Amino acid sequence: MVEITDVVCSLCGCVCDDIVLEVENNEVVKVKRGACSVGKSKLLGHERIKSPMIRENGELKECSYDEAIKKAAEILYKSRRPLLYGWSSTVCEADSAGIELAEDIGGVVDNTATVCHGPSVLAIQDVGIPSCTLGEVKNRADLIIYWGANPAQAHANHMKRYSYVSKGYWTAEGKKGKKLVVVDVRKTMTSKMADVFIQVEQGKDYQVFSALRAILRGHEDVVPDKVGGVSKEQLLEVANMVKEAKFGITFFGMGVTHTGARHNNIVNAIQFTRAGHLYGKWSIMPMRGHFNVTGFNQVCTWQTGFPFSVDLSRGYAWYNPGETSSTDLLYREDCDSALIIASDPGAHFPGAALRHLAKIPVIQIDPFANPTTEFADVVIPAAISGIECEGGVYRMDNIPIRLRKILETDYYVPDAEIVERIHAEVRALREKEGE
């Protein structure tokens, strides 16, 4: 039995990097410290795709890696406008290889931000973002706001490691010296811990941010008695907490990005943060979901100039979310094949998008079966990033962290290698046809 320390969890955007494991006979037998229950479950392992498969007469039949990779290359080579989607639960090296492949075959490359924090990215492009690292939050923040986010269930270590419950250099008393405000449309596990819980009406976040901004800027007389279901009294209470805080942070989730004014909600949230600067240090940060959703946005920006939803079919990068985003492309039936990697649109895309996805050839690359497997035509199992292979990822605060390899595999192939091998096959097909 070997004890391995400083293991990094490859599940959510917290990217916890102080996990201690026990490994015996190339198997994780115990997660001793550091991981939450979902992180622990991933590290201990569960049912995975056992072999590459190709669908024949409606049924997935097992095959070799070479056969599956050749078939995937044929599908992409024959396509006029393939969609290459996912990329958030794999490492930056795979993302980079995928963007290169998309450029070469004239595809549209997009990641899961398109259905989660895409509006946050658009807002940041509009007005910038006053943000910080999670380390700064841990060491300095005395007022924490979670808005439209439920970390107690979705990012289980977030409060313990980085925010309300953590103890840092200037926050040695932990939660005793801090205040927690939760804003949501319903009571959650996180709201139960809050000093102040604000129950906002569905889709009215924009108005509540505006009211708080007005109060912070000295215009409380223009704020009516109730805004978005929240009483003026409560708004004044929160504004006073903001005024008294030395270092405040707003963490926001998809409860804000996908309601009402969408990316304008985030623009307003950022302007609320700036109003906080009249009184103290204020920051804001999106609660990114997948462990490397942030990393894809980084890599895509390095390589194409844009963070997601990039159409490379014109021979240059064209970025126009709403037109070039995956769901819109699928609604319009504007792509003729799809490579889905490290994600599950089968479970998360709207029905109209899925209807087209079910009609076109789909290649899936993933360690685990999920609803997308049900309609995939080629399934290629991957080594598990952060367990069977290493690689670079970006935590939700844009801090790069290296995933470690903790188990050996002599069968499963890392995502980056699968994508590179598909690309090599596409080049070989092109050479064969004398293009």
Residues at the site binding ligand SF4, with contacts judged by CB under 6 A: 9, 11-12, 14-16, 35-36, 38-39, 155-157
Report CA-CA distances (Å) from 378 to 61, 103, 170: 9, 22, 53
- Across-strand partners of 60? 55
User: Closest Cα partner for 88 from 301, 308, 323, 284?
Assistant: 308
Least Å distance, CB 18 to ligand SF4, is 9
Q: Which is nearer to ligand SF4, 14 or 335 (CB)?
A: 14
Q: Which is nearer to ligand SF4, 13 or 345 (CB)?
A: 13
Chain residue at closest Cβ approach to ligand SF4 = 39
Least Å distance, CB 19 to ligand SF4, is 7
Amino acid at 179: K
Q: Which is nearer to ligand SF4, 43 or 335 (CB)?
A: 43
Other CB atoms closer than 10 Å to residue 243's CB: what's the count? 15
Least Å distance, CB 187 to ligand SF4, is 22
Least Å distance, CB 111 to ligand SF4, is 18
Report CA-CA distances (Å) from 241 to 134, 276, 280: 21, 10, 11
Least Å distance, CB 381 to ligand SF4, is 22
| Sheet strand arrangement including 108-111 | 59-62, 53-56, 378-380, 362-365, 337-341, 82-86, 108-111, 310-311, 318-319
Stretch (H or E) spanning 114 = none
Least Å distance, CB 393 to ligand SF4, is 10
Least Å distance, CB 11 to ligand SF4, is 4
Q: Which is nearer to ligand SF4, 89 or 298 (CB)?
A: 89
Q: Which is nearer to ligand SF4, 41 or 64 (CB)?
A: 41
Please, is 50 exposed, middle or buried when counting C-beta atoms within 10 Å of its C-beta (0-12, 13-18, 19+)? exposed
Within 13 Å of residue 232, how many CA atoms lie on the same side as its CB? 10
Residue 299 · residue 410 · CB < 8 Å: no
Q: Which is nearer to ligand SF4, 23 or 38 (CB)?
A: 38
Least Å distance, CB 293 to ligand SF4, is 12
Pair of tokens at residue 70: 């050749």
Cα–Cα distance for residue pair 372/344, rounded to 1 Å: 6
Q: Three-class SS of residue 199?
A: strand
Q: Which is nearer to ligand SF4, 12 or 256 (CB)?
A: 12
Q: Which is nearer to ligand SF4, 39 or 307 (CB)?
A: 39
